[in-house]
Amino acid sequence: MEVIIQSSPERSAALAAKMVARLVREKPDAVLGLPTGGTPVPLYAELVRLHREEKLDFAKVRTFNLDEYVGLASDNASSYHAFMRGHLFDHINVQAKNIHIPDGMAKDISAACNAYEEAIRKTGGIDMQLLGIGTDGHIGFNEPSSSLSSRTRLKTLTDKTMHFNQSHFAPGQKVPRYAITMGVGTIMDAKQCVLLASGSAKASVVQQMIEGPVTAMVPASVLQMHPRTTIILDDDAAKSLRLKDYYRFVYGNKPDWQRCE
């Protein structure tokens, strides 16, 4: 696990975007795993800029989103389908046939989850999985106590997650109790994972994820076991790390060929 500390969320997003851009330029048909929420918004804005100003080409890129609410149609303004269109897909040249997001309206959720797993396998697997982290340590909608070998499935959201996500819904609109999410095991199958976290509200769980034990009660902690994971933090999210000075030293003294920049 590589830990990189940046001075701001914008610098973190720019660094992550450079990593994505390098992959896409080296492998034009790369498979990207994509998150939603507030954390990746600056990252997506930077990818849009790279596409417009530096001609970063997404024509052959395949994408798989982490999750979607059950009961929300793709045209619902609070759906993750709508989120991705608004923040990324409508602004780059990704092909609609190459976009995959769980179907929140699936009649047979179990079959839809199995089909999602099969679709990932048919592409050869996810090359880079982008992630955020919840204040309780969840990745995707894998809430605390989720199996660390789980696959794409239906999950019941905690009251804490529902309360936190309420701001993304219109007044009077309830956050759905259920969601379809890639499993922890599905995420761990990705060839590379890149997790971003920013803000002091994430500091405690970031410390648990990086320096605490691997536990299902902090699902993101399983990334300690991934062979190629990069954690990109701003100063506020990194403030509780016991070894933050060491992480800064390691990254600051990497040889040029090993750096992300």
So which residues are the catalytic ones? 67, 136, 138, 143
Helix locations, the chain, DSSP H: 9-26, 41-54, 80-87, 109-122, 159-165, 184-188, 203-211, 235-238, 244-252
Which residue do the tokens 């994505």 mark? Answer: 20
Report which DSSP code applies to 121. H
Which H or E element spans position 180?
A: strand 178-181
3-state secondary structure of 126: coil
93 vs 46: CA distance, rounded Å: 15
Burial class from Cβ neighbours inside 10 Å (0-12, 13-18, 19+) for residue 97 reads: exposed
Tell me the DSSP string of 182-243.
--HHHHHTSS-EEEEE-SGGGHHHHHHHHHS--BTTBGGGGGGG-SSEEEEEEHHHHTT-TT
